[in-house]
Chain A
Amino acid sequence: MICLFRIPYFFALIVLGIVIGGCATYQETEAYKLYSGPIRSSTEISILQLYDASKAVIDGMSVSHSDYTEVHLSPGVHNITWTSVHGMSVLVEASGFALKHSEQNPILLKGRIYRLRSARTTGHEYTIYNWIEDLATGEVIAGTAKP
């Protein structure tokens, strides 16, 4: 009888399965209505996707990414304080992560979708960039995008 363990391909398959085995998460869109009154159509409001933000305080109201994926706002100027979290090498940050807090006061236009974006450079002299971009045009409306 041929022992299966003597077949290299069998091992390769199992190890490959372990290596690529993982999980993927999918978060449904959950919108936080942050304007008063009846629900308005998406063309009448500004949508802010939390995207890279772990949490945000918008005009004094806290929004956690674990609760909502996007915030629906009246068009106009909004005070947005938000935090992005980046996993780091422990050789760079002992905690294994780095936070970046930003406060921005962008003018949000109606019918537009905006996204809180964050990216970082690597190494000991790393820099974290937090910015807000218009999803349709890619225009940075607040903060500085990673070059």
Chain B
Amino acid sequence: MKIKYHYTLIILVSILLHGCVIVPYKVDPEVKIEYDKELSKHYLVTTGPRKLLTQIEDSITKFTQNIQIIDSIHFRDTAFPDGDWRMVRLFDDQNCQNIATELNARYLVLIGKLDTSTEESGFMGVYIGFYGAFSAKEKSTISATIIDLEKGEKLCNLDSEAQGTAGGVGFFYAVITDPLTESGAIEGLGKAIAKTIAQETLNNDVRIAVLAIEPHYDAQADNVIQAENVIGGTFTINTPNISTPTSAVIDFCEDFNTWSMKEITISNIGPKNGTMLDAKGTWRSGKQDGAIKQCVINIPEGEYLIKYIVEVTHQDLTQRISNHGLVNLRSQHVYQFSNNAADNLTNTQISTWMFEKETNRIVLGCKVRENNTCP
């Protein structure tokens, strides 16, 4: 019985000792200020990233007490009373100046997306303890645009970047260092915003609003969606030079080594404006390798339930990806399929989407981001 208890004790001690210690450390950000950068107005003004905005506000007020922050929802409702939150509306006739007067606000600070990327080397395995060694370069970036509401123009752009290296060694027990790049970039940006405004106002009291911006996928916008890491090429749904102006042609004539269309199903969901014809069918491969190579489908414009399955190969990883959803196919438009992939520490995420070529608007699926999520 004694031996039995000793074993239990060893196992218990092992469980309690097994683990790791993470040593976080601060990194100094590098902040650049630009006065000449053109301001793209194809954004929505939003209060969405609540915690990020709070962190920025805190880091501004930590640096100076002369800046008073206006409630972001109150600002947004005053600036965009009809719910059209496109940034371009800010610059409508005297709108900035009216907001400045109504809220007694001098500056609007618009915060961009916080991006963090990691590049790793080495390996650490976990099995009843940690074994191995790794290092990873981590970089966080965030930017802000300061708008002078009284003048109705952009003051400057600020870009904050914090870099650090995470590292770890483990032999049963692990010691891991963690660079605080995100908080470093945020604090650096907040401090730079406060410093810039303090310089402009000669340290006088000033009221500002801090909101966020996110891309606005507008048909009128420029190419907001960029082609990122596109593998191979694009499949196309086309609507050119066809006899019936309300017809769409879906044409899969391309052949790519890295991805292939395996199956596409398009079904109408019922009459729409009395023009919907019966257009339902599943186009399966007739080819040897199972991929659709050439396929032309004549269908009228309208709303369709589209489902497609593609096979994508990226860095020796082959995945079948399926997307489906309602898509409004517009006459005389080109629709294309594309794909991308994002790698992080643990896995590769591949994503595909269908988009309207003229507007770059994604109509089905999504693009995977660096943090392995689709928006």
Interface residue B170 (Cβ < 8 Å from any Cβ of A) = no
Which residues, 15 to 42 on A, are CB-close (under 8 Å) to B? Answer: 15, 18, 30, 32-33, 35-38
Which residues, 56 to 94 on A, are CB-close (under 8 Å) to B? Answer: 57, 60-64, 66-68, 74, 81, 83, 94
Interface residue A95 (Cβ < 8 Å from any Cβ of B) = yes
- A residues less than 8 Å from B80 (CB atoms): 36
Quick check: B375 and A55 within 8 Å, CB to CB?
yes
- A residues less than 8 Å from B77 (CB atoms): 36-38
Quick check: A5 and B5 within 8 Å, CB to CB?
yes
Which residues, 327 to 353 on B, are CB-close (under 8 Å) to A? Answer: 346-347, 349
Q: Which residue in chain B gives the minimum CB-CB distance to A68?
A: B50
Which of B40-48, B229-237, B259-267, B280-288 forms part of the interface with chain A?
A: B40-48
Interface residue A134 (Cβ < 8 Å from any Cβ of B) = no
Quick check: B373 and A55 within 8 Å, CB to CB?
yes
Quick check: B73 and A67 within 8 Å, CB to CB?
no
Interface digits, B356-375 against A, CB 8 Å rule (1 contact, 0 not)?
00000000111000001111
Given contact pairs A5-B5, A61-B214, A11 touches B12 in the complex (Cβ within 8 A): yes
Quick check: B216 and A67 within 8 Å, CB to CB?
no
B366: contacting residue among A15, A37, A101, CB under 8 A: A101
Q: Which residue in chain A gives the minimum CB-CB distance to B323?
A: A101
Instruction: State the Cβ distance, B363 to closest chain A Cβ, in Å.
Output: 9
Quick check: B349 and A62 within 8 Å, CB to CB?
no
Interface residue A14 (Cβ < 8 Å from any Cβ of B) = yes
Which of B60-68, B81-89, B199-207 forms part of the interface with chain A?
A: B81-89
Which residues, 4 to 32 on B, are CB-close (under 8 Å) to A? Answer: 5, 8-9, 12, 15
- A residues less than 8 Å from B323 (CB atoms): 101
| Bound Cα distance from A6 to B372, whole angstroms | 50
- Categorize the interface residue count of chain B: 35 or more
- A residues less than 8 Å from B374 (CB atoms): 83, 99, 101
Given contact pairs A36-B80, A38-B77, A60 touches B217 in the complex (Cβ within 8 A): yes
- A residues less than 8 Å from B214 (CB atoms): 61-62
Quick check: B48 and A64 within 8 Å, CB to CB?
yes
Instruction: State the Cβ distance, A4 to closest chain B Cβ, in Å.
Output: 10
Q: Which residue in chain A gives the minimum CB-CB distance to B349?
A: A95
Interface residue A121 (Cβ < 8 Å from any Cβ of B) = no
Q: Which residue in chain A gives the minimum CB-CB distance to B46?
A: A61
Interface residue A122 (Cβ < 8 Å from any Cβ of B) = no
Quick check: A105 and B326 within 8 Å, CB to CB?
yes
Interface residue B49 (Cβ < 8 Å from any Cβ of A) = yes
- A residues less than 8 Å from B364 (CB atoms): 103
Name 10 interchain pairs, CB-CB below 8 A, sorted by A: A14-B12, A30-B50, A32-B48, A32-B50, A36-B80, A61-B44, A64-B48, A67-B50, A83-B374, A101-B374
What residues of chain A have their CB less than 8 Å away from a CB belonging to chain B? 5-6, 11, 14-15, 18, 30, 32-33, 35-38, 54-55, 57, 60-64, 66-68, 74, 81, 83, 94-96, 99, 101-103, 105
What residues of chain B have their CB less than 8 Å away from a CB belonging to chain A? 1-2, 5, 8-9, 12, 15, 44, 46-51, 73, 76-77, 80-83, 85, 214, 216-217, 323, 325-326, 346-347, 349, 364-366, 372-375
